[in-house]
Amino acid sequence: MSDMPVSNKVREVVEESEEVRTVFFERGVPGAIPGQFIMVWLPGVDEKPLALSYLNGEAAVTVQRRGKFTEEIFKLKKGDYVGVRGPYGNGFDVVGEKPCIIAGGIGIAPLAPLAEKIAKKKPIIIIGASSKEKLIFRKRMERVGRVVYATDDGSVGRKGFATDLLEEVIGEVDVVYGCGPERMLKKVFEICRKSKVECQLSLERYMHCGFGVCGSCAVDGYRVCADGPVFSSKELSKMTEFGEFARLKDGKKVSLEEYYKWRE
Amino acid sequence: MRNPTVLSSGFLGVNVEMLKRVVEEGAGAVTFKSIGPRVRGGHRNPTVLAYEWGMINAVGLPSPGYRDMEGELARMKEVKAPVFVSIYGASAEEFREVAEAVARYKPAAIELNISCPNTKAEGMIFGCSEKLSAEVVSAVKDVAGGVPVMPKLTPQALNIAGVAKACEEAGADAVSAINTVGPGMLINIEARKPVLGYKRGGISGPAIRPIAVRCVYDIYEAVEIPIIGIGGVTEGRDAIEMMQAGATAVGIGSGVYYRGIDVFRKVCEEMKVWMEENGYGSVRELVGVAHE
């Protein structure tokens, strides 16, 4: 067994929006399924877990500019070396016949390959963002399902929250897959619980190892990297920290607000 | 302890819920990740990796500091197995400060991390010296209020058995051995850079098992107090070997990587099968038999 960053080269960088880039690698990540992630190492900078936004022979991550690391990701050019290890995590478990996908902002990244995988089931795809300019993968998603949008400013789709749209369609679906800000996911979880619909939600935490030994990404007794990042309704219902608390790099347990502020 | 496997320090033990989980997965005892005197961010990633023969890490003792851990420590009794708390400091005085706070919660033992190779000023220096190790043990014993004190020893010491003996004389109730070996380094040749964020990191896992077994063997000949044998145990046979060298219990850390979080149950089952086949009724009968 070995889990070292393997050298890979940037094949292409796609500008999805002003704040979002997709970085394609020359070599794919064999065996990866939607919802899994890789650890991307920028030599001399840092290493972070990033969801695979494209798979099946190719591999890409889709990144929103947020802090020092993503700033460096934005500087990558074709031919640059990065280190990649993985895939890690469990990925989404494809179940049900009437799926719904709900994404908040950059949360669409791990869900896009899932949507493509289950295209035959004609998923309802709900995408929320602050404004029209922030929406990504619109064409990609409109090819595979019925897409509805929610924006904070009403510049496209409904003015309001993605979860408002979920409440309207929850009666038509038998499984909900979600990824996005955790406050939104908590709402998704509650809507699904009320309607007795199974959900699978992808969580995010600060990580060190990525393969389940260090504990830095703990949510209660669950390891986001190895037991997740995708958790089922049943698992989510047992968590006391979901939607409430996360840990900083030093292990300090803080509110989600404080955690997100630190991640900036 | 219901079985001789212990979750080693630095792995998984970040909160009470995770410790409970590890006990459910079969561990006989568990250890809280090292707690320090104040907030420490730890090193930049990559921090934990696995190469062909073992693991290499330089996490850098991240800790929110003991004041911030008191909420978790207060709930320690919810864990249905003995809980050890690992602590570190940059001086005997700091060890004493953290130990005093931790001892109030009555853990099964306080493990003294006098041997982490990943921090410059903190830790390493103590474990290499008999005198400094003994000073830390004495300082902590003063404030431990009867809670057993267990220094974790480093194979970097020139004479690990001598350090163990000095700790015993200073009042240590047990020792754990060994911490990681090294530090080592791995370089990504395309990037032309060391892979770990901290560049150097401690080696653990199967690669270091022979070193750990030798250290435990040497320590057993030098002291009377119990030894928790740590280093590369992933299978029942490894645990039996460690106990034959002189360990009363066996720490498992990297084994979680090699065999999953239920490595504790697997190791215990394998030990049981071997013991039945070889006519042992109790794990106690295994301790130190390689010396006879």
Residue B30 is which amino acid? V
The predicted pLDDT at position B119 comes to 58
Mean pLDDT throughout A1-20?
A: 95
Question: Which residue has 């947020």 as its token pair?
Answer: A66
Residue A53 and residue A113: Cα distance in Å, rounded?
A: 6
Contacts of B188 in chain A (CB under 8 A): 4-5, 7, 41, 43, 83
Encode pLDDT of B63-115 as tens digits: 989 999 999 999 999 999 999 999 999 899 999 999 999 999 999 999 999 98
pTM for the whole structure = 0.95
Q: Do A252 and B193 touch (CB under 8 A)?
A: no
Taking residues A185-189, report their average pLDDT: 98
Distance CA A178, CA A169 (A): 14
Chain A partners of B195 at a C-beta cutoff of 8 Å?
4-5, 41, 83
* Angle at CA of residue B32, ends B56 and A214, nearest 5°: 35
Q: Give me the residue from A46, A47, A221 closest to B17, CB to CB.
A: A221
Q: How much is the pLDDT for B121? A: 52
What's the pLDDT tens digit per position in B223-282? 999 999 999 999 999 999 999 999 999 999 999 999 999 999 999 999 999 999 999 999
Selected residues 196-235 of chain B with any CB under 8 Å from a CB in chain A: 197
Architecture of domain B5-44+60-183+205-291: Alpha-Beta Barrel (3.20)
Tell me whether residues A43 and B254 touch, CB distance under 8 A.
no
Domain boundaries, chain A: 6-88, 92-201, 203-264
Helix extents (H) in chain B = 16-24, 66-74, 92-103, 124-128, 130-143, 160-169, 209-222, 236-245, 255-259, 263-277
> Interface pTM (ipTM) of the complex?
0.94
* Residue A10, strand partner residues: A25
Percent of chain A with pLDDT strictly greater than 90: 94
**Summary mean pLDDT of chain B:** 95
CB distance A213–B12 less than 8 Å? yes
- Percentage of residues in chain A having pLDDT higher than 70: 100
Amino acid at A245: F
Query: Which candidate, A207, A211, A173, A205, places its Cα nearest to that of A192?
Result: A173
Domains of chain B, by residue range, sit at 5-44+60-183+205-291
Whether the CA torsion B218, B220, B226, B231 is positive or negative: it is: positive
Which residues does chain A have within 8 Å of residue B39's beta carbon, measured at their own beta carbons?
Answer: 250, 252
Closest residue of A to B15, CA-based? A220
Q: Which CATH class is domain A92-201?
A: alpha beta
Instruction: Please identify every residue of B annotated as catalytic.
Output: 116
Give B99→chain A minimum CA distance, Å.
19
Architecture of domain A6-88: Beta Barrel (2.40)
| Length of chain B in terms of residues written | 292
In this complex, do B51 and A216 lie within 8 Å of one another by their Cβ atoms? Answer: no
